[in-house]
């Protein structure tokens, strides 16, 4: 039994160990990354239990992902090893001028073969929150069906549904994303979106208009993440604002949104006030950007609550 259940793709990540293009670098670091697996790691570090449902290949990358998630305390009992498809891989560049480029090799990956049949009521039993992102349905019809099934099982388990649209233009067009994501957004209890999501899916740029348009879909709480501008939330007709957590230097922005989601959900699980949930999300997200890698900077509970709770 886990506090939070999520599903999606975790990939092997390779990137130069210094600012350089892939055509010029001589050494690569190997790690793992994925929005949902990042969330699981952050939640476990904050003292909560998290289950990750997915598929990896029956290959060294899949074994590495399983071992690393286990080391972080993530429940991988529903992480299947697929003998017929490889683990997805992607490469990321951090160029000397500060630009970053990403190259995905995930077509036909094991995770893209995830389907509704891989999910069971037992996996969701006792969950308090089921978290989904818009990345998963973009991977294929089977993954989209798995998301719909996850919402059904969340309702059966009495869990809240948390959803981050996480629009990725590399995976699909804004038009295709809107058609697939709006039905999922309507079923969310907690909608955690970024300003790019609001623009692509809702066609809105103004923050307050974005909150209102999203709330009209039905979620109980809508959050708008605005990076260095902080975050806003709309619940019960009232807007709550939270500033960004101060950061001295941004080394790697990837993983900040997933960290924010984890902090916000952790705050919800702990019964914190909405403003405190936003502040905790901001703190976890800010910790991610100050180190290289997606999840390495996520804080532990003892760092946030040194005196205990």
Q: Angle, to 10 degrees, between the axis of helix 174-186 and the axis of helix 141-157?
A: 10
Close Cβ partners of 12 (under 8 Å, ≥ 6 residues apart): 30, 31, 32, 61, 64, 65, 87, 88, 89, 90
Q: Are 51 and 37 in contact (CB under 8 A)?
A: no
Is residue 258 annotated as a catalytic residue, yes or no? Answer: yes
Please report where in the chains the tokens 């604002």 appear, as a residue: 241
DSSP state of 88: P
Q: Give me the half-sphere count of Cα atoms (radius 13 Å) on the Cβ side of residue 271.
A: 1
Please report where in the chains the tokens 């995976």 appear, as a residue: 171
The torsion defined by the Cα of 250, 255, 256 and 258, in degrees rounded to 10, comes to: 180
Catalytic residue among 75, 82, 258, 294: 258
Indicate which residues carry an active-site annotation: 258
């Amino acid at each position: 039994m886990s506090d939070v259940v999520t599903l999606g793709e975790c990939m092997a990540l390779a990137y130069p160990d210094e600012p350089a293009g892939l055509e010029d670098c001589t050494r690569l670091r190997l790690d793992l990354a994925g929005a949902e697996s990042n969330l699981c790691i952050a939640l476990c570090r904050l003292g909560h239990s998290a289950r990750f449902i997915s598929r990896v290949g029956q290959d060294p990358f899949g074994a590495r992902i399983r071992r690393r998630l286990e080391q972080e305390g993530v429940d991988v009992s529903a992480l299947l090893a697929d003998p017929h498809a490889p683990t997805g891989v992607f490469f990321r560049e951090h160029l000397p001028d500060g630009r970053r480029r990403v190259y995905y090799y995930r077509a036909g990956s094991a995770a893209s073969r995830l389907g509704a049949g891989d999910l069971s009521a037992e996996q969701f039993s006792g969950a308090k929150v089921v978290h989904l992102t818009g990345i998963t349905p973009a991977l294929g019809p089977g993954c989209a069906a798995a998301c719909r099934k996850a919402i059904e099982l969340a309702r059966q388990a009495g869990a809240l549904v948390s959803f981050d649209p996480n629009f990725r233009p590399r995976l699909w067009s804004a038009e295709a994303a809107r058609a697939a994501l709006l039905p999922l957004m309507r079923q969310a209890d907690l909608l955690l979106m970024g300003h790019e999501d609001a623009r692509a899916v809702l066609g809105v740029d103004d923050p307050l208009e974005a909150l209102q348009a999203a709330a009209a879909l039905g979620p109980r709480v809508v959050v708008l993440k605005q990076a260095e501008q902080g975050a806003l939330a709309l619940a019960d007709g009232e807007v709550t604002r939270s500033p960004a957590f101060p950061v001295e230097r941004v080394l790697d922005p990837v993983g900040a949104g997933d960290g924010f989601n984890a902090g916000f959900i952790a705050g919800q699980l702990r019964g914190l006030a909405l403003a405190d949930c936003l502040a905790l999300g901001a703190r976890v997200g800010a910790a991610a950007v100050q180190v290289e890698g997606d999840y390495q900077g996520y804080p532990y509970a003892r760092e946030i609550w040194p005196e205990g709770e």
